[in-house]
Amino acid sequence: MPTFVYMTRCDGCGYCVDICPSDIMHIDTTYRRAYNIEPNMCWECYSCVKACPQNAIDARGYADFAPLGHSVRALREETKGTISWKIKFRDGTEKNFVSPIRTTPWGSIKAPADYDAPTEDAMKSQELAHEPDALHIEALPVLTPDKFKQGVV
């Protein structure tokens, strides 16, 4: 589900155009406002939503995130180190939550070639590369059969 732009908020700065990895945010040449030229190709990465200084872009998220028909607003506030999310449902209900910005400094992530080649065992493991070390935990949590019954009466 794609992004959409509130025309009355957009000032045509073009930040969303520059950041969109799918190159689908364009500026309308007549109205000088941004719009999504190909909604089917939107990755719903929220990069443009977070980058827009006017908070002019919302998205309609996938149904596994919230039921269809809602809008999602993400507000990135670097001074607070937070991203605030607001989900607004069709009946007017709102859900708000805040998460920390987890962007790492430019150049602080090692390139894949700087790591040792994975062992044969690691290649057969279901863990992703550098798990669990990169998550700063000893081991990934395991779902045991007794946990399948949690919440089932």
Residues engaged in binding ligand SF4 (CB under 6 A): 3, 5, 10-16, 19-22, 24-25, 34, 36, 42-48, 51-52, 54, 56-57
Helix (H) / strand (E) containing 34: strand 34-36
Residue 43 catalytic? yes
Q: Of the two residues 13 and 75, which places its CB atom closer to ligand SF4 in the complex?
A: 13
Question: ∠ CA(64), CA(41), CA(97), 5° rounding?
Answer: 40
Q: How far is the CB of 39 from ligand SF4 (least distance, A)?
A: 8
Catalytic residue among 31, 38, 39, 43: 43
Residue corresponding to tokens 């950041």: 19
Between 66 and 131, CB nearer to ligand SF4: 66
In the sheet that 57-59 helps form, which strands lie side by side, from edge to edge?
3-5, 57-59, 71-77, 82-88, 94-100
59, 48 in Cβ contact below 8 A? no
Residue 26 pairs in a beta bridge with 35
Closer by beta carbon to ligand SF4, 73 or else 131: 73
Catalytic residues, by residue number, are: 43
